[in-house]
Amino acid sequence: MICRVLAVISFLCAAPVARAEVIVFAAASLKESIDALAAQFDGVVVSYGSSATLARQVSLGAPADVILLANTEWMDALIQGDQIVPASVVDFASNRLVLVGSIGADEVMLTPDALLAALGQGRLAVGITAAVPAGIYAKASLQSLGLWDSVSSHLAEMDNVRSALALVVRGQAPLGIVYQTDVQASDAVRALAVFPQDSHPPIRYQAALVRGHSAAAAPFLMALMGSNGQTLLAEAGFLPAQVGLE
């Protein structure tokens, strides 16, 4: 991991001069930490959304300089499409998947009967299970734990993980599956269960420079990988990149 980071930093230092403004596309779950990092730079604009949406936008030529995704498959698609600089791709954080409910809700055992009882007549808020990383991880975990058949007809699939969280915050869904960092970002919900890490693929956040990026993008990405960026991520509840690869 250290060698990989050093190689990326070496590449960034040799980045060509281009536009001064930096446009960052970032997975919605990164909002608090990336907002804090961006505030330390002049001319950094951040656009948030699901990794699937952001990757599609870049593939269609959206004017981004840096892309931060919560899923390696979408980054691989951009590499194959030659929309990003392969040498710049680096893992920068990891996360945990949790079941959330209102502050006053009881903990929930991850069994079909317990989950259905906690849902009642409500829906389970998740990211779109065919595209949004949090939804992809949620489906994999539910299948691994033998819960999918019981709850698949009770899903409220949303376009990003923060939209799924919002349903629970507003009381429109009794339960949701989000990242542990999303729980820390809201005082209206709490984690009712933690999904085993081996029940889904590792949650890997990857960063990369987009083809034609501004030279000013390199310092931002270096800051993300440095002690300042990693501290901001840790304060938001993110785990170090290598934890997700264990």
Query: Are 146 and 78 contained in the same domain?
Result: no
**pLDDT tens, N- to C-terminus, the chain (246 residues):** 544 544 444 444 444 444 448 999 999 999 999 999 999 998 999 999 999 999 999 999 999 999 999 999 999 999 999 999 999 999 999 999 999 999 999 999 999 999 999 999 999 999 999 999 999 999 999 999 999 999 999 999 999 999 999 999 999 999 999 999 999 989 999 999 999 999 999 999 999 999 999 989 999 999 999 999 999 999 999 999 964 444
- Which of 165, 180, 199 is the last residue before a domain boundary? 199
Query: Are 195 and 212 contained in the same domain?
Result: no
Query: Are 221 and 188 contained in the same domain?
Result: no
Q: How many domains are there within the chain? A: 2
Query: Are 192 and 102 contained in the same domain?
Result: yes
The number of helix segments (H) and strand segments (E) in the chain equals 11, 10
Query: Are 101 and 89 contained in the same domain?
Result: no
Query: Are 119 and 173 contained in the same domain?
Result: yes
Query: Are 194 and 214 contained in the same domain?
Result: no
Query: Are 38 and 124 contained in the same domain?
Result: no
Which tokens is 235 given? Answer: 């304060």
Helix (H) or strand (E) holding 181: helix 180-184
Helix (H) or strand (E) holding 46: strand 44-49
Query: Are 109 and 229 contained in the same domain?
Result: no
pTM of the model: 0.86
The domain in which residue 29 lies consists of 2-94+204-245
Query: Are 22 and 78 contained in the same domain?
Result: yes
Predicted local confidence at residue 242, as pLDDT: 67
Query: Are 7 and 84 contained in the same domain?
Result: yes
Residue 141 belongs to domain with CATH number = 3.40.190.10
Predicted local confidence at residue 15, as pLDDT: 45
Contact 161/29 with Cβ under 8 angstroms? yes
Predicted local confidence at residue 21, as pLDDT: 87
Q: Which of 195, 47, 34 is nearest to 126 (CA)?
A: 195
Q: How far is CA 31 from CA 36, 47, 50, 137, 238, in A?
A: 8, 9, 12, 19, 12
Query: Are 68 and 190 contained in the same domain?
Result: no
